[in-house]
Amino acid sequence: MATSRDINATGVISSDFNQAYPGGSVNLSLEVTGTGITNVEFFDGATSIGQDTSAPYEIEVADLTLGVHGMYAKVYINQEFNVSNIVTIQVGEQVPYLGTPFEIPGTIEAGFYDKFEGGVGQNISYLDMSQINEGDFRATEYVDAASVTNEGATVGWNSIGEWLEYTINVETAGIYDLSFRYASGNSNGGGPFHFEIDGNTTSSSISMQTTGDWDSWSTKNVTNIELREGEQILRLFIDEGEFNIGKMTFSFASALSYSPPIANAGDNVTVILPETTATLDGTLSNDPEGESITYNWEQVYGPSIISFSDNLTASPEISNLVDGVYKCKLTVSDGSYTDTDEVLVIVSQTGNSTPSISITSPSEGTSFEEGSGINITTSVSDLDGSITLVEFYDDTQKNR
C-alpha cells in the first residue's frame, strides 16, 4: 500500500527565534532534501498559514497571539507529502504569580510559582510529569498544588525531574539560610531537591525525614544557599519525590566570599518610525570590586535581525529595526563570574505599543451544559501603559 511517506522528499523546519512578543512575528525556513517538490505548506497547529512553491522555502508568521505555537510544514510532491519536525514558539513572558517578585530575605509559598502570560506554564515556569492537577489550587495548571489550612499554597505529588520556578529579587548578595515546611508520609522520607539559578546549582541536595503522614507538617532548616543581588529566577529542582512542600523562608546569613559583576541593560528603549536605529545602554553595569568587565549583547527575539555596531561594547548602536518589539540580553563577565540583564526595544509609528490579551480559561474545546454559567479569565498586559478596560464578545455581540 502506498502512503504519503513514500515520497522522496523531506524537510527540517527552523525559526529565527523561538520566542516573540504578543502581536509580533517570526520567520520560518524549511531545508529540504529530495527532488520533484511542487510546494511547501506551513502550519501553526492545525491552521495553514501559507505556502511557498520555490526554494528557499520561507514564510513570515505575523500577529502571533499569546500562547505556545507549534509550527511545522508539509513537503508536497503533487498530492503526496511528508511532514517536517515541529518548532515551538513561545509568545508571552514568564511572570511572577503575585505580579511582583518575591523579596529575599522573605518567604515564598510553594504554590505561588511563576505563571505564563499565554496560559498553561508547562515547560516555561514549571515541568510536571502529568497533566492532571491532583490538588485544589490553580486548577488549570498541571502542578499538583493544594491549599492547606495553616500551611498556605503547597505543592505535592512530586516526581523525579519535575521543577518549579519563582521570580525573586535579592536585596543583598550572600549566603542564605532556608527554613521550610514539608510533609512526607513515606517511611524513608522524601527528596532530595536542590535550587538552581541560570542552570547553576546554588544549594546542596536537601533531603527530609518522614513526618509519618502526608498531612503531618514539619520544619527543616538548611544553610549555605548562594544568591546573587537583584532580580532572578530561582528553580526548585526535584531529584526525588515523596514529599509535600510549603512555605520557604530565606534569611541572610553572611556575605559571599566573592563579588560577582552586576549587569544593567538600561531602561526600555522607544524608537519612533521612520527612525530605524537606537543605542543600547549597559554603562551602569559594574563590578563591586572594581575589576574590569567585558560585555556581550545578543538578540532574544524581534521581527527582524538586529545589526549591532559592536555587540562587545557597553553601548552599541543597533540598526535594521522595523515595527515591533525586540528583546536584547546583556551578559557581563569579570573573567570568573557572569551576570545577565534584559531590555526591550519598542519600535512603532507613534511611540505607543499595542496592549496584548489572551483568554487563559476555559481552555479551547471545553464543554458546558446548556444554561450553565461560564467564567472567562484573561491575561492582559501593556508595555508602556495600563489596562483600563476589557470587553468580552460572543461572536459580534458584546456581553460586557
In the chain, the domains with their CATH numbers are: 8-91 (2.60.40.10), 94-254 (2.60.120.260), 269-348 (2.60.40.10)
| Distant-in-sequence, close-in-space partners of 233: CB < 8 Å, separation ≥ 6 | 94, 114, 165, 166, 167, 168, 197, 198
- Write out pLDDT tens, residues 10-35: 999 999 999 999 999 999 999 999 99
Inform me whether the pLDDT recorded for 146 exceeds 80: yes
Do 145 and 138 form a contact (C-beta atoms < 8 A)? yes
Distance CA 57, CA 74 (A): 11
pLDDT surpassing 90 at residue 113: yes
Say yes or no to pLDDT of 385 above 70. no
pLDDT at res. 356:
63
For residues 177-197, average pLDDT: 97
pLDDT at 370 over 90: no
CA distance 189 to 68: 37
**pLDDT tens digits, 241-283:** 999 999 999 999 999 999 999 999 999 999 999 999 999 999 9
8 A C-beta contact, residue 87 and residue 20: no
The bridge status of strand 338-348 relative to strand 269-272 is: parallel
Lookup: cell for 136:
485544589
The pLDDT, as a whole number, for residue 353 is 66
Residue 1 clears pLDDT 50, i.e. is over it: no
What does the chain come to in residues?
400
Q: Contact, 27 vs 59, CB < 8 A? A: yes
User: For residues 137 and 123, what is the distance between their CA atoms, to the nearest angstrom?
Assistant: 19
Concatenated DSSP letters of 7-45: SSEEEEEEES-SEE-TT--EEEEEEEEES---EEEEEET
* CA–CA gap between residue 242 and residue 380 (Å, rounded): 37
List the strands of the sheet with 269-272, edge to edge.
Answer: 269-272, 338-348, 324-333, 294-301
Percent of the chain with pLDDT over 90: 85
User: All 3 cell numbers of residue 137?
Assistant: 489550587
Binned at pLDDT 50, 70 and 90, residue 363 comes out as low
Q: Contact, 223 vs 177, CB < 8 A?
A: yes
C-alpha cell, 176:
542564605
| pLDDT for residue 386 is more than 90 | no
Question: Which of 271, 309, 270, 265 is CA-nearest to residue 286?
Answer: 265
What is the pTM (predicted TM-score) of this model?
A: 0.87
Q: What is the pLDDT of residues 300-341, one digit of tens each?
A: 999 999 999 999 999 999 999 999 999 999 999 999 999 999
